[in-house]
Structure 1
Amino acid sequence: MAESHVVTALISKRAELAGLIEHHQKEMDRLADDLAHLDATLKLFSPEIDLRTIRVKAHRMRNRFFRPGECQRLVLDIFREAQGAALSSRQIGEALTARRGLEATTVMIEQMRKNAIGVVHRLERSGTLIPAGRDGHGATWAVA
């Protein structure tokens, strides 16, 4: 038989998640209504417009640690200072933490590592960085 405190905690978590779903569903309904009103207004001013041709604009969350483009510049500086050595995301995360003057806690390094992985993948797609293998911390990258 399950422990009563476990069941109580699971019920509480389920209620919390159900509340979040309900809240976000209402928000989605409100946004859909706003979009429908905007579409109708667009049709009034330009009846021939094909609304399907309007591209969706991606919603981006602001990073609390870096200004736009700053993390990428710092990552490139870190690779420049590594003088051709391959770096793991953990090493980049530690270097970012130090450069920002933040306390090097496990949680902070992990957050910086996640930021670094996003940047590294963008730089990999652009051909600036290439995968260089693996080390004890995972995948490594080097300047192409």
Structure 2
Amino acid sequence: MTDYMVTGLVAKRAEIAGELERTQERLRVLAENLASIDATLRIVAPEVAVEAIRSKVFRPPADWSKRGEMTRVVLSILRTARAPMTTREIAERMVVERGLQATTATLNSMTRRVACALRTQRDKGVARSTEGEAGFWQLWEICR
């Protein structure tokens, strides 16, 4: 074995062991907090069956994006566009590309998220906007 490989593996093992210790400590704190809440519930409302309370699971919506994913897709759409596009047009393309159902609620949500991503990119100088016909909407394009 080469020394740099062993050194790298030792460093990676130390990193994972540290993460495991932090996670176990976090679990210990959560278990203590849960026990405290259970004890308080038993005092305040003894008729409540604490064991019957189901845990709440976080389920992200179907149009959920990971960090930076929204901006990457929006900029990709603008790069391939032949002409400046409105926020709504970009949102419609995103819904199609991601295979989401094109409901009014989904399009409105996606339009707001696209607009936020574009404003951030405009502030960074990556994208620019111009007024569309009669000033009703913004047309977006990549700064070249």
TM bucket (normalised to shorter chain) is: 0.5 to 0.7
TM-score, normalised via structure 1 length? 0.52
Q: Are the structure 2 counterparts of residues 65 and 127 from structure 1 closer, same or farther at C-alpha, using a change threshold of 3 Å? A: same
Cα distance, 1:132 vs structure 2: 2.1
Please tell me the residue identity of whatever aligns with 1:70. E
Tell me the equivalent position of 2:137. 138
Deviation by residue 1:14-69 (Cα, 9 ceiling, x = unmatched): xxxxxxxxxxxxxxxxxxxxxxxxxxxxxxxxxxxxxxxxxxxxxxxx88610000
Cα distance, 1:135 vs structure 2: 4.0
The answer to whether the aligner puts 1:123 opposite 2:121 as a matched pair is: yes
Identity %: 26
Gaps of 5+ in 2: 1-59
Q: Are the structure 2 counterparts of residues 65 and 135 from structure 1 closer, same or farther at C-alpha, using a change threshold of 3 Å? A: farther
Q: Which has the larger radius of gyration?
A: 2
Q: Are the structure 2 counterparts of residues 106 and 129 from structure 1 closer, same or farther at C-alpha, using a change threshold of 3 Å? A: same
Tell me how far apart the structure 1 counterparts of residues 141 and 102 of structure 2 sit (CA, whole Å).
24
Tell me how far apart the structure 2 counterparts of residues 135 and 90 of structure 1 sit (CA, whole Å).
15
Moved over 3 A (4+): none
- What is the aligned residue count? 82
Please tell me the residue identity of whatever aligns with 2:138. A
Tell me the equivalent position of 2:112. 114
TM-score, normalised via structure 2 length? 0.52
Deviation by residue 1:47-105 (Cα, 9 ceiling, x = unmatched): xxxxxxxxxxxxxxx8861000000000011001103x111110011011111100111
1:85-96 matches, cutoff 5 A: 85-96=83-94
1:1-144 matches, cutoff 5 A: 65-83=64-82, 85-135=83-133, 138-144=137-143
RMSD: 2.0
Q: Give the SS at the match of 2:132.
A: strand
Cα distance, 1:143 vs structure 2: 1.2
Q: Give the SS at the match of 1:130.
A: strand
Gaps of 5+ in 1: 1-61
Please tell me the residue identity of whatever aligns with 2:142. V
